Structure 1
């Protein structure tokens, strides 16, 4: 389970609770408990540009998560309303940030391109350490570039090169 910022850095990572699906893993996650108990240190509400109404920060998630005041998720697939479909599409684009973070992580650390043969605890430590190094690399070097998903001037999503790299590793 991870939480990423708009710069593809990991803000939170919880390793080792897999297998329960996103919703089940979230329920066991330390971040879920911290947010619920107001101990997560989320930023204070801020005004958007050219607006005087403070807006709270939100976490963007997929539909496996239960709706909360601090969480945004897409409408159900059954919704055919064009406005709701557009909202869900844009929200999915925002959610791609975490996909890009993992894609860059896998591209930079080839250990994630195959099954790790180490003990589970060692795999957990490798994952945590590479996430820290990933953040340091992004902070010190501008290495995201075209490696991440982005939009062209017509708002078409252009897949990042990490997606092709991932396919090449699987071949």
Structure 2
């Protein structure tokens, strides 16, 4: 399980669960979940968004497999009519979730060892995956390699002049 920031950098990595375990199951068994549940992550206090008065909490974004909590947001379940607030919310949430999917795509396209099951001892596989995450962050932050490792067309971005309609 990986948490990725808005710039595609891995900020939390938990390795060791088999791929057949659901994202929600992995999350509920990792240290991050325990710390989030016990308010031990030092998540900033809720603040008003720019130009708004109501305070909103800082949140992590997950898919439907994750539990909904004060600091964990997930999409509305079900299907909603075009233009409804729920559909627009789900669309915007999915755009933010795509960042982590794209980060995995970037890593697996460069580090091909991630494309298939590793027939290694668990500790060696863990070391390889953590090394890939560290190399990914290094290459993303490097002025010399960032454009080569992740060219502009490899990352998600908002098209200038586009509108969000929840389609």
2:46–2:58 contact (8 Å) kept in structure 1: yes
Measure, in 1, the Cα distance between the counterparts of 2:77 and 2:9.
28
- Structure 1 residue runs without a partner (length 5+): 157-171
Q: Is the 8 A contact 1:74 1:87 kept in 2?
A: yes
Distance in 2 (CA, whole Å) between partners of 1:3 and 1:102 is: 11
Residue 34 of structure 1 pairs with residue 35 of structure 2: yes
Structure 1 length-normalised TM: 0.81
Q: Residue 155 of structure 2 is aligned with which of 129, 138, 148?
A: 148
Three-state SS of the structure 1 residue aligned to 2:3 is strand
When normalised by structure 2's length, the TM-score is 0.83
Q: Is the 8 A contact 1:17 1:28 kept in 2?
A: no
* Residue equivalent to 1:115: 117
- What do the CA deviations read for 1:85-116 (whole angstroms, capped 9, x no partner)? 11101101110011011111112212112332
In structure 2, the residue matched to 1:17 is 17
Number of residues paired by the alignment?
A: 156
Q: 1:79 to 1:24 in 2, by over 3 A?
A: same
Cα displacement (A) at 1:70? 0.5
Determine if contact 2:57/2:70 at 8 Å carries over to the other structure.
no
What's the Cα RMSD here? 2.0
Alignment of 1:1-171 (within 5 A): 1-18=1-18, 19-51=20-52, 53-80=54-81, 82-141=84-143, 142-143=146-147, 144=150, 145-153=152-160, 154=162
| Cα shift readout 1:31-58 (whole Å, capped 9, x = no counterpart) | 0001111222324444432345543210
Report deviation, 1:76.
0.6
How many Å apart are 1:131 and its aligned residue?
0.3
8 Å CA contact 2:45, 2:57 repeated in 1:
yes
Query: Who is 1:166 aligned against?
Result: none
- Compute the displacement of 1:28 (Å): 0.3
Unaligned runs of 5+ in 2: none
CA distance in 1, matches of 2:138, 2:43: 22
Structure 1: 4+ residue segments shifted above 6 A: none
Higher helix proportion: 1
Q: Which has the higher contact order (CA 8 A, sep 6+)?
A: 2
